C-alpha cells in the first residue's frame, strides 16, 4: 500500500493459499482507494494466469513517489521486472541488464541494485 495522505493505492494478489503453493496466483491488480477504503479506480488487473504455462506470481512495491508500481516476478516463468505507470495504467518493460533490479524512483531517477553496488539511471535509460 502507498499513501500520501490524500491518495491511497494498493496492490492486491489472490489470497487462496492452496492455489499459490500449487500454481502460483491467478489474479493481481492495482487499485486506487477512496477515503472510506472502497475501490474508486481499477488502475490495472491481470487475470487468467492458471491458463498460461508455468507458475505465475508478481510481488509489487510502490515507489517512494507513488508514480510507479514495480512488479518483480517470483518464479522464473514470470520473465523480467515490469513497471506500472499509475497515472495512466500503462505497463512498461525494464531495459536493464538481467542482474540489475529496480527498487525505487525519486527525483526523476531510478535506483537500482546489483549484487555489489547501487546505481541510479534516468527514465530514458530504463524504458
- 110 pLDDT band, cuts 50/70/90, is very high
| pLDDT score recorded for residue 51 | 65
Q: Which domain holds residue 48?
A: 2-125
- 17 pLDDT band, cuts 50/70/90, is very low
pLDDT, the chain, mean: 83
Joined together, the cell numbers standing for residue 126 give 530504463
Provide the domain count of the chain: 1
| pLDDT score recorded for residue 90 | 95
| pLDDT score recorded for residue 111 | 93
| Distance from C-alpha of 107 to C-alpha of 96, rounded to nearest angstrom | 19
In this prediction the pTM is: 0.81
Amino acid at each position: 500500500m502507498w499513501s500520501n495522505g490524500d491518495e491511497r493505492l494498493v496492490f492486491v494478489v489472490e489470497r487462496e493459499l492452496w492455489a499459490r503453493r500449487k500454481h502460483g496466483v491467478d489474479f493481481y491488480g492495482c487499485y486506487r482507494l477512496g477515503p472510506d477504503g472502497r475501490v474508486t479506480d481499477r488502475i490495472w488487473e491481470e487475470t487468467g494466469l492458471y491458463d498460461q504455462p508455468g507458475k505465475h506470481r508478481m510481488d509489487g512495491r510502490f515507489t517512494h513517489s507513488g508514480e510507479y508500481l514495480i512488479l518483480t516476478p517470483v518464479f522464473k516463468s514470470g520473465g523480467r521486472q515490469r513497471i506500472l505507470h499509475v497515472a495512466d495504467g500503462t505497463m512498461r518493460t525494464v531495459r536493464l541488464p538481467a542482474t540489475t533490479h529496480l527498487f525505487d524512483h525519486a527525483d526523476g531517477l531510478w535506483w537500482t541494485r546489483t549484487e555489489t553496488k547501487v546505481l541510479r539511471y534516468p527514465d530514458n535509460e530504463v524504458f
